[in-house]
Amino acid sequence: MHPDSCLMNKINNLPASPFLLTVLVLFIVSRLGYLNLPFYWDEAWSYGTAIFDMAGKDLAILPGDANPDLTRGHPLLFYFLSALWVKIFGANLAMVHIFPLLISTSFLVAAFILARSLFGNFVAMAAVLLLSLQSVFLAQSTQLLPEVMLALWTLLSAYAYFTKKWALFVLFSSLLILTKETGMVFLVTLFLDKIVLERYFADSHKESGYPLLRELAFMIIPVVIFVASLVIQKVRSGYYLYPEHLKLAITEPHEVVHRFLLFLYTLLFQHGRFVFFAISSIAFISLSCKSSVSRHSMHWLIFSALFITCYLAFASVNFFTTRYLLSVFPFFFIPGSWLITEFIRTKWLITTSFAALITLFSWCALKCNRNEQDTSLGYKNTVLLQKQAINHIEEMDCQNKPIYATFLMQYYMSIPKLGYLHHRDKPFLHVSNHTGITNDVYIFCSNEPDPIHAVISINKAYFLNERLESKGAWVEIYQKKNLTFDRVTK
């Protein structure tokens, strides 16, 4: 046996708990500074408002029981669990954000369990480290959004499926589709695997007949639950899927292909992932030429590629944001980590390669990917800057004055629980994006481009009261001339 193979066997036999615990502790500590941030982007205007609304009323889990204008017709499991958390622990920002942090921590544990069950401890350790350093995951880990929970149920469903723990599969896959409709993409991939791939890649001839029908019967249960939820929604709300979401669907073939390639590029090449993809691809070609990939490993590689393809195809005809990639990240990093460790059999090369990848992803998370989107750690800078701007307007005592604000800023200024207001008992009562009225104050932000900004900036009836800027983000506040407030402004 090759000496490095002996080394890998020894590593795989080592207890993994100390390593995993260390990663989790470091991950949690790195997120503490984000717990007390106000809600931002979709977390604020969509999910946060819906969750606080449910927490203030009766908890709802069945379609039609919650306000559809806030829940956007989505399954209600995430809203239900989040609202339950708020009811128990309160609406304090830090306490609310501990909930998604716990989900994110569980996601890393689930990724480790799945990777270890497939490829052993070493691959599990490498994959979890690389996953934990993805900037989109780090940014989303403390935001009250459903994508990390969706990714968690996807991982646990995959683990139950490949280990044939069918009771657990029914549980986790049901939770998956009750979290978001996108979960059906993974179930469709599993059916394709069960009917086609598994039969081909089995080490021995796959049994047919009753064993296969029994497994398919378990797999159909979450589908039945999903269909039942759609029927209930149709009866109670008048539609199967939220009409506004259906209007966003893309049907033009050329645009679908273009979007698919764009999303594939985002997954494979952005934020340092191009290096990981390149090494993994070279490893796959080399191992395939040497016939060094077992049927079990090839099965997992093709299954992962199939799921990624199906997921991106689905996203190509729907609205897409980078955080949706969280569900496919494990199916990119787990097989890739295995390919690299199999391809590089020398101890110091393996260590050097993963150390370089860890350094690369850390740099991308901390320095490279620092934009204002909610999928970047740079969102913290924008949140604090916008909170400072809102607090400045509060000091102007114009809570009862007509104020023009961009879409997201309207929510930040009028809903105290989102965390932007210093005086939570005095929200702004007349904030809108209406230009047909005479507004006393206009507020513009760098993360929401608005054509009205250029008009107001040269309008002689207004002057620039304040401009706040930090690390590329900015907020400008315009005040109507000859306008007096209860407090004197500069």
Query: pLDDT 10s per residue in the chain (490 long)?
Result: 444 455 455 555 555 678 899 999 999 999 999 999 999 999 998 899 999 999 999 898 998 888 888 888 899 999 999 999 999 999 999 999 999 999 999 999 999 999 999 999 989 999 999 999 999 999 999 999 999 999 999 999 999 999 999 999 999 999 999 999 999 999 999 999 999 998 888 755 555 667 889 999 999 999 999 999 999 999 998 888 888 888 888 889 999 999 999 999 999 998 889 999 999 999 999 999 988 888 889 999 999 999 999 999 999 998 778 899 999 999 999 999 999 999 987 777 887 888 888 898 888 887 776 789 999 999 999 999 999 999 999 998 888 999 999 999 999 999 999 999 998 888 999 999 888 778 999 999 999 999 999 999 999 999 999 999 999 999 999 999 877 655 444 4
Identify the bridge partners of residue 386 per DSSP, sorted by sequence position: none
- Inter-CA distances, 72 with 59, 97, 189, 248, 268, Å: 16, 22, 26, 13, 30
Residue type, 97: H
Q: Which domain holds residue 195?
A: 3-368
| Sequential DSSP letters for 121-174 | HHHHHHHHHHHHT-HHHHHHTTS--SHHHHHHHHHHHHHHHHTT-HHHHHHHHH
From 368, 393, 422, give the residue that closes a domain.
368
* 330/441 same-domain check: no
In a domain, residue 374? The reply is no
Query: What amino acid is encoded at 29 in this protein?
Result: V
State the Cα–Cα distance between residues 385 and 78, nearest whole angstrom: 29
Residue 486 lies in a domain: no
Cβ-based neighbours of 174, under 8 Å, separated by 6 or more: 221, 222, 225
Domains: count for the chain: 2
Q: Please state, as a whole number, how many other Cβ atoms lie within 10 Å of the Cβ of residue 253.
A: 8
Residues 394 and 308 in one domain: no
Tokens for 132?
Answer: 């934990």
Q: Are residues 93 and 179 in the same domain?
A: yes
Domain boundary among 368, 390, 421: 368
Q: Are residues 19 and 79 in the same domain?
A: yes
| Burial degree of 205 (CB within 10 A; 0-12, 13-18, 19+) | exposed
**One domain for residues 333 and 387:** no
Local structure of 72: helix, strand or coil: coil
Q: Do 181 and 273 contact (CB within 8 A), yes or no? A: no
CA 294 to CA 290: how far, in whole Å?
A: 11
Q: Are residues 149 and 205 in the same domain?
A: yes
Helices and strands, counts by H and E, the chain: 23, 5
- How far is 68 from 449, CA to CA, in rounded Å? 28
Model confidence, pTM: 0.92
Same domain flag for 128 and 47:
yes
Give the residue from 335, 368, 401 where a domain finishes: 368
Backbone φ and ψ for 447, nearest 5 degrees, come out as: -85, -5
What are the tokens at 185? 């993409």
Is 252 found in the same domain as 195? yes
Alpha-carbon gap, residue 359 to 376, rounded angstroms: 17
Q: Within a domain: residue 248?
A: yes
Is 81 in the same domain as 198? Answer: yes
Examine the domain organization and report whether 116 and 152 are in the same domain: yes
Claim to verify: residue 357 and residue 461 sit in the same structural domain: no
Is the domain of 94 the same as that of 221? yes
What are 252's two structure tokens? 């033009």
CA 252 to chain centre: 27
